Structures are given as structure tokens and as C-alpha cells.
Structure 1
């Protein structure tokens, strides 16, 4: 979400600006230290934790009620509400159009907030006035807590399309059950630049389980509505920001006005939104290469707020164009993107119109990237919320790489540092009823982003990384997805199983540490690497590739990548000169804990093995070794994950590869004593 709410890793503070300006070039931005990045992010995380403490387990529908709701598929929501910018009072109706499942339906189950039994008089609650189906009033409505069931005037057959209009009124609760504060809230002021200004504004924020606190709905992630409409009647000069396109503005008697919004794209329940205030509008356009222009419609508090945030607002076209280039064109281009200001303590990625309490570089980049990861493709379970939040967090990093590259490495170092603060947790969410655990800043956002970065490293090629994610966006467009779906796409691209990777980094806990001993004799360099896992009971070993930076005495450098396939492993390689030092993971790809490196004169340096000449490559059924050492006794073939897939005696210069699947492999040839005599890399078609 970060909703990003807490995503605020405010890298840059934007000062007042009285006129439209382009985003400043990278060279004009002050470089922030990793410590400054960490401090900003940590302050935001603490604020988020404070706001979720009151409601750590708030799943709403009972299991039985969920089963009743699963008997139909939502196709359309139409909210028609009366709202003001100074109250949590709500009145109106919601039309719920559904398609009946495989069994006939005699009742319609949905969710709507109801104050607890025994609550004092005047406690905020939402009252059901009536439920009308096909012009006939439901003969009865049963309410048990937040679960509501309306009896249908007559059963609806399997496959039928049914439309119910639910009339209700009341006051939304002040329960702080949403990821940031209330599901529906109002405020009398906002802060900007450390100064508080009087201002009335009302807004919604439904993630993860709080949409029912302001409108009747079905809170099931996998049941996206095919489309939605939001009409709000309010008092002038209020404006209303919501999803999709503003189809019509209707002036009404008594200084009232109705704003009619609609979206024709699939939308999850928690992404439906409203924001009500006397906003002013600021419009710009993005022009992605090969795609339609994207209108960017921003609702700002007033001219002072527009001037203050204008430089950051003017970054949005470039952000959209960059994300479109990498992940596919913005999917809601024929509607809009934009944001509505509200003092929510961060941001929330409402579809096509984010709600934010302000603008800074990373918050704005994060919320926008959710339109791809979270809105277009939504996680199918809160267990997999990293598919939304980790990727949106990584969007911050990608935007820094594109526009403020000097800050990108510091951002990633800080993210990995936050992840290390929760060494015993997993990216996977084991308790999907806990709001605090779902939106763990350190695990869901920061460790998740570090895992995305590691997936990019695993691809060996940015083109492959982006190709997988473009496929993910197109294949699951307008739908929901699980981690297993993403895993299958990466496996198809890389031609190998990644079960080990997701077991370690998604389900597992902790991080690896590498202790490196090295020595050199002539042109032979030996490394002995001992890996230790910080939470061995969960993840005893991390199989991973690791980069090592060799710095030579003449000042030149060379980076080598070695595959750590066991906890204690020896490597030997040829070098061109005396080595002065070795650094582990110099570019910060791995979220590993600090490593140690020392030269050990007692470490035996074996002679460097011969680089074998093999052909053909790609091979089919047989691989020939043209310079096979005379003492060769056996061959071993290792796949790209480090797994030994073939061991064979080697009496001749040819090796049968018929049993190997297509992919990249490494060949090692051993002598009778087990010593490595030669090695080579080849591919099998």
C-alpha cells in the first residue's frame, strides 16, 4: 500500500514553487547518505506501526459467511452516496451486480460494519435500511456482526445475473482498523513543510479488511469487480476524487453537486475510493513510447499546496514513461492517473487515483508503481502481499536508478539494513489476519524488495528480468496472482527450477554470512568460503551465486561470480597478477550479513584446472572434449542452480548428454584421486 504509507523514505524535500517546473536533473539533487535514508524510512515505519497497533487481527467475514459469498461473483459496484468534507456520516445506496455460481442462490451475503452488541448509545455504526432485488424488497435481512445476509424475493438460478440495491446510512467507525488509520475518516487540518493549516477533508482507505466500514461489499481478493462506479453528492465548493473517469458533474438545488465517476477496468474492493474537499485541479500528461497519452489529474488542497508540491508533481510524467518502458504501458491510460491529497500519514494506491498526504520522490514513485503491481495485478492472498508491496518498493529503487542514480545504492543498502532488523521473519505472511504482520515494513516491504533485487541478479541479464515481469503484467492483467505464478514465469525464462530460491528467500528466514579465506601461488588463486545462516532452524543454508571483487596490486580489478552450493566450499581460478584484496558482493546484490575476508598463508593453493575445449555448444546428444587431460577418470555435469545432474566415467573424449534437459551446464573432469583436471561451460538444446 504503502500504501504506501510508510513507504515514506523521503529522499528529497521539495520546497515551494510558484510555477510549473520540470523535475530537476539528477546532478542537481543532493546526495543523501545511507544513514539519512535509513533514518527517514525508520521514522515512517514507526509511525505506521503506531497506527496499526489498535487492530492487529481484524479479518471480518466468518468462514461460513465467506462460503456463502463464494456462491456468486461480483461484476459491478455502483456507489451512490452523500458525503461531506467534515464528517464521517454516510448515507445512500450501493448496487451490487453479481453472477450466480454453480448453485441457485436464495440469499445474498455481504459485509457491512455494525457496532458491537452492547456498545453505548451513539456509537458509530452503519444501519441497513433495505435491500431491493429486481424491484422487490428482500423479505428479511439477517445481521451477525459485520456479516449480513439478505433473503431473495425469489431464488436466482445458477449462472443468472442478479442486481441488488442496498440502502444504508450511519457513521463510519473510528476504529483504526485499516493499514493507515480509519477506513473512512475526516480531518480539520493538514501539515505541509512542518506547518499545520486548517482544512476540512474526508477520505477512504480500505486496505486490507475495512471497505465494509464505509460501504456494503464482498471483501475477497480473488473476486475483482469487472467495473465500478462512484457517485457522490456533496456541498459546493467540494470536489470528489475517485476511480476512473469523471463522467458527469450535476449541479443540484441547495448548493449541492453530484460527481459521477466510473471505471471500466477490473477493480478489487479495497481499491475503490473517495476523497472529498474543496480541491483545485492540476492536470498534466505522460507520453509513453508506443502508447497513448496518459492524463494525470491531481486534486490539491489549494494553490499554496500546488505551488509547494509542483516540482514533485511534474516528476509523474517521467515516472509513468519509465515504468511503461520497463513493464508495459500504463494499463489505465484511457482513464487517468492522479492523486488526491489527504492527511493519511503516507499514501494508498487507489486504482487510477492514489491518495497521498504529500509528495516526495520515493512515496510518489512507490504509489504509482502499484498501478502495475497491486492494481492491474493484485495479490490473490494477503500471504503474498509482497507481490504488491515489495515490487512497489522496488519501483522506488528503479526510479532512483533512472532519475537520481547517485541515491540508488544508498536506498538498497538501507532496505537491506531494514530487512536485517527482522532476521527471524519471512517475506511470506503466515498470519493473514494481522494487519501489522501483513504490512511489516522490514519484511514485506524491505526484505521483499531485496528479494526482487536478488531475482534480478539471478537472471544475469536485465532484459530477461524485465521480460518476465512484462509477461506477469500481461498474463495476469486485471486479475490476481500468487507467488507460485511468479515463480513459474521466472523458471520458464531461466530454464531451471527455482524451488530452492523461493524456499530460502520467500518462505525462509534469516540471511547468510560469508567467511572467506584466500591465498595465491603464482597465477593460481584459492578461495575457501564458509557460509553461516543466521536462522539455521528455518533456513540452514542459502544456495546462491556471489560476486567477488578482486583488486590487484597494480590497481586493476576483476569481478568473478561463484556459485555457493554447499556451506563450506573451495574454489580455484587463474589470475593475471598478484591479488591485493578481495571484497564480497561489492555491488550489494545480496541481502547478506557482513562478511569477513582474510588472506591465509596456510591455505593450500591447488594448480588451476585446464579450461576444457568442448563442442558442439549448444550440444544435442553428445559433447566432445578436444583437450581431455590424459589422466581423466570421471566427469560431472552441474546445472545452473549448482545441482549435480550427471556423473559418468570418462574412458573416451565424448560424453553423452542425451539425458539432460535443455539449459546451461558446467562440466568438470576429475582425475583418479578426485582432483579437478579441467572445466568448461556448455549449453544443451
Structure 2
């Protein structure tokens, strides 16, 4: 039914107030399309390990990012074109964005209302978006990006450095330099063009594209065509020795900060990337991405290495005293299968990333002439605090020893229980069937039981969450 006719002054004022409430996001109902079943997307994906992260109502398919960064002013200007599909009849939606000013937003070809909240960009399109509709949102933004210190892994986000910047961190980083649905449950492909002063490198994920220069600035281009969780994106800008080649027919890009020794432990370790990838592929199945590489930075604030997709980033402490450290390279490269290709559905299952990557260190050490995986298992078994669980470790312990080492013990216990043939078949089936997607611990248990044709839930429970040392299989 459609009503026509003149409205009173009071009703007109009420309509204005209601429209203003919708525009600034204060009204829960009655906004764009709500009366027709359209409603706002959730402002939080609901993962208690990362409150406020992620958003509902849509699924991102692609990020097209064009950014310019001037190290002399620490100012970044950007344009993000985000392609997504609605998962509900959507009246408005949120993107995660920290500390940057938004100049303009459009949905499709139409300007959209927008406002800022606490780490949020709230977008109200001119018209409601029906469920199943693909749409694009374009965000023009600028400002001085911020760092984050979440108390778990340490410094991250967008960090200004002596010669440029680095955008890195887990679980926080992406929202400090582009608008994003910042949770690993919503993976997407990426294209990035980043413009920096001539003479500086601008390194990121995926396959390198053509570079171009004009007026003292150089634009570097990167493309990641496999779906990527947002925390796995990275941007490293500065003075780096960049080595570009190929391995197994795919681009290989490695880089070491120019302030580090040219032939030292960092460069020597990165040079083994191809050999380590080939070994891991023989155990886990084909390498899942279109490019390889690694980046070693010189900023001591980064006390960790991170499995940024296709091109891990390593803090300088891993190569202290200029010593090679292929073990950390094996760990981060193993994540390309476990964590990057097969990604978390929720952060409480982070052992699926770290347990398998830690176990890969044992496999590589044995292959490289060191201790066997069995010997590492025995040493770690004796040293483990069994009161700390691998699954649901708690926000403060999501990077704790139980996630890494107890997780690796559970992986080897599975191997000892089912035997090598079935064990590696389980791993290869997991990385194949779950490639480019997300998974949970329950998914892994179900797959292992299907492949092994036996009940394995009690084994996983004992090794991952039981409160006392499990019986050795």
C-alpha cells in the first residue's frame, strides 16, 4: 500500500530526526530499507579473541588498493576499491579502519553516507543492497597511520621506520592502513599499487607487476590471486637489497634490509627458501601460491616472524650475531599450507596454524641432518606444562607454548598412532580439500577419522586439551 498526501510540520520534523539518526548510526531500526526487511550488518564478527574485529552482512571478494606513502612526513594517502557480495538484505555496513581520515565513500556509482566510530567506518548506501548482490565500495582516505600494541605478539600495525615503514602484525595490522573486513574468516584476493620516493623498495604479497616512475616517485605493483586473510597482508617500504628470480616456474622475490650484511645469516637463510619449500611440498602437497619469497627487516621493534602470504617477514632477532636460521624459514613457509591456504575460522583454533608449523621445523631439522622428529617429540614431551591447552588457550595465551609446542606434540602423536602412510595422507588431504578456505579443529578431527577409518577424537582431546600428560602411543 502506498500513501500520498501532505504531512504535518511535526511529522516532517520527526522524519528529519529519524534520517539524521540513521545517518550517524544511532537508530537500530527504521533506517535505509529496514521497514522492507533490510537491516544493518553486524559491526563485530563475534570472535571473543578479537573483539570489535570483522563485520557481518557481506563477504569480500577482492581488495584493489592504491596507496602513496611519503616517509618524510609519515603520511599515507589511499584509495580502496572493495568488491563484495551481500549475505543479507543490507541497509548499512561497517569496515574496520583505524586512525585515518576518510575523504569520500561511494557504493557503486553513488556517493554514500559515512561516519567514523571506534576503529570502524560505517557506510550507508543510498539504496538498500539485496542479499546476493555483488557491489563495490570505494573509499578515499589519508592520514598518518598508527601502530598497535595488543599485548599478545607485540608491536604491529603500520610502523614508521628510519628509512620507510612496515605494515605487519597478528591479529592486528591491516585496518591501520586500509579499510577492511579484518578477520580471517573473510578471505579475499588483492591487487596493490604503492607509490614511494625513487630509490626505496615497496614490497608486498604475491606476484610482482610492472614498476613505473614519474616526478621522483616509483609505483610498485603486486597481485595476490589466492584468497588471503587480512592479517597476512603486508607492506614493507625502505632501503632493501631485492633479489628477483624464479623457482619452479614461479616468481621468487626475497629482500634483506640494506643495513644488514649482504652475505650474512639473513641472506643465507632466505637463499634456502626454494629448497625448504620443495621439501615441505613433498610432505604436505603442492605449494599453494603463485609466488615465493621472504623479507628480513632491521627494526628491532619486530621481535617475531610472520607468515605473510607468499612472502614471510622476519624480524632481525632471528639472525642475531649474523647466524643462519633455516628453522624459522621452515616454520613460516609451512604456514603457507597451514594458516595461509587453510586458514582459521576463529582465533581459538590458532594451534592449527602454529602446531603444524612447529612440527614442520622438526621435519626440516631431521631432513637437514639434525635431530629426528621423534627425538624432538621426546624432549618436548618431557618439558610440556600439560595444564595449558592448545585449543581455546585464551586471548593472553594465543601465542603461548601450548599453542606451538603442545600442538606439535599432538601432530606427532597422530603420526605415531596411524603410521606414516596414513599420517601424510591425512595432511595432504587436509591441504587439498581445505585449500583457499577456512577450517576448525573439529573439521580436522573429522577428516583424520575419515581418512584413517578409525576414531581419533579421544587422541586429539588427550593431546590438545587434557590436563595431564597423555599416554605415549
Question: What are the Cα deviations for residues 501-529 of structure 1, in whole angstroms up to 9, with x where unaligned?
Answer: 22222232231xxxxxxxxxxxxxxxxxx
Q: Which residue of 1 aligns with 2:155?
A: 181
Q: Which residue of 1 aligns with 2:186?
A: 223
Question: What are the Cα deviations for residues 68-103 of structure 1, in whole angstroms up to 9, with x where unaligned?
Answer: x321110001121112456653221211110112x3
Deviation at 1:269, TM superposition (A): 1.0
Quick check: 1:151 aligned with 2:124? yes
Q: Which one of the candidate residues 378, 399, 402 is aligned to 1:439? A: 399
Gaps of at least 5 residues in structure 2 are 1-47, 320-324
Q: Which residue of 1 aligns with 2:463?
A: 505
CA contact (8 A) 1:128 1:166 kept: yes
Deviation at 1:409, TM superposition (A): 5.7
Deviation at 1:163, TM superposition (A): 0.5
Q: Which one of the candidate residues 75, 81, 84 is aligned to 1:98? A: 84
Report the CA distance shift for 1:473/1:236 in structure 2 as closer, same or farther (over 3 A): same
Q: Which residue of 1 aligns with 2:167?
A: 204
Q: Equivalences for 1:123-162 in 2 at 5 Å?
A: 125-138=99-112, 140-162=113-135
Quick check: 1:481 aligned with 2:444? no
Q: Which residue of 2 aligns with 1:608?
A: none
Deviation at 1:408, TM superposition (A): 5.1
Q: How many residues align?
A: 415
Question: What are the Cα deviations for residues 441-463 of structure 1, in whole angstroms up to 9, with x where unaligned?
Answer: x111111111111111111x212
Q: Distance in 2 between matches of 1:183 and 1:76?
A: 21
Quick check: 1:337 aligned with 2:293? yes
Q: Which residue of 2 aligns with 1:306?
A: 262
TM-score of the aligned structures, taking structure 2 as reference length: 0.82
CA contact (8 A) 1:82 1:232 kept: yes
CA contact (8 A) 1:93 1:165 kept: yes
Q: Which residue of 2 aligns with 1:631?
A: none
Q: Distance in 1 between matches of 2:336 and 2:69?
A: 26
Q: Equivalences for 1:83-94 in 2 at 5 Å?
A: 83-85=69-71, 88-94=74-80
Question: What are the Cα deviations for residues 405-431 of structure 1, in whole angstroms up to 9, with x where unaligned?
Answer: 3475664455435533xx321001253
Report the CA distance shift for 1:437/1:168 in structure 2 as closer, same or farther (over 3 A): same
Larger Rg: 1
SS in 1 for 2:211: strand
Quick check: 1:242 aligned with 2:199? no
Q: What CA RMSD, in Å, does the superposition of the two structures yield over aligned residues?
A: 2.2
Q: Distance in 1 between matches of 2:291 and 2:273?
A: 16
CA contact (8 A) 2:114 2:123 kept: yes
SS in 2 for 1:486: helix
Quick check: 1:470 aligned with 2:461? no
Q: Which residue of 2 aligns with 1:323?
A: 280
Report the CA distance shift for 1:70/1:157 in structure 2 as closer, same or farther (over 3 A): same
Q: Which has the higher helix share?
A: 2
Moved over 6 A (4+): none
Deviation at 1:265, TM superposition (A): 0.8
CA contact (8 A) 2:198 2:213 kept: no
Report the CA distance shift for 1:218/1:361 in structure 2 as closer, same or farther (over 3 A): same
CA contact (8 A) 2:296 2:313 kept: yes
Quick check: 1:168 aligned with 2:145? no
CA contact (8 A) 2:60 2:85 kept: yes
Q: Which one of the candidate residues 419, 423, 426 is aligned to 2:389? A: 426
CA contact (8 A) 1:86 1:187 kept: no
CA contact (8 A) 1:173 1:182 kept: no
Q: Distance in 2 between matches of 1:284 and 1:410?
A: 37
